[in-house]
Amino acid sequence: MSDIAAIYRDRFEKAGLERRERVWKVLCQHFFNRRIPPNATVLDLACGYGEFINNISAAKRMAIDLNPDASEHLAEGVEFKRLAATELGSLGDEIVDVVFTSNFLEHLSSKDECNKVFASVRKILRPKGRFIVMGPNIRYAYREYWDFYDHCLPLSHLSLAEGLRSSGFQIEENIARFMPYTMANAAPAHDFLVRAYLALPFAWRLLGKQFLVTAIR
């Protein structure tokens, strides 16, 4: 197995953790908080350094990652478990309202492993719970997709939706082009620019290379 901690440090610390934190703070305040009830229990699957879960408003916040360094970056009150995405069932049945994951599924080795992750997510979601998935869309990011050594599983917004439906989910929202491809670069991240981008969906169609798919259990 690759050294996950080393990959995280090389890829994200080089781009600037403070910068990533600022972007996700705006994303949560001005986009995701509107989609997640404040009384919800939210689990961040493959949480990375906690940029999403640290900034989302929720009654209970949980984070899962295999990187042992992840817990050092999580805000007070976030419950962390070092656990594989296929083993969420060990946490209990129907215990969360929302599972969120960003830029994770493309690192899985196969569709079979992806199906196991979907089954694992379904097990911990309460009835009508939401699975929110953000990730690079191979349809629009096919040139850059393979620039990361640990990308294995190419998915588009359509193939992801089909896979989720096959695993018993219903698709609530499917945005083919949401955010730009990656934050692991020096692109502008000023709060005003991120807020302006979120407020102008036509810009998503020009710059967006990541899908945002919301599925219901």
**126-164 residue pLDDT tens:** 999 999 999 999 999 999 999 988 899 999 999 999 999
Q: Domain range holding 95? A: 4-216
* pTM summary value: 0.90
The total number of structural domains in the chain stands at 1
How far apart CA 123 and CA 115 sit, in angstroms, is: 12
Residues of the chain falling short of pLDDT 50: 1, 185-186
Query: Which domain CATH number covers 181?
Result: 3.40.50.150
What are all long-range contacts of 2-9, with beta carbons under 8 Å and residues at least 24 apart? 2/150, 4/66, 4/67, 5/67, 5/68, 5/69, 7/150, 8/48, 8/49, 8/67, 8/69, 9/69
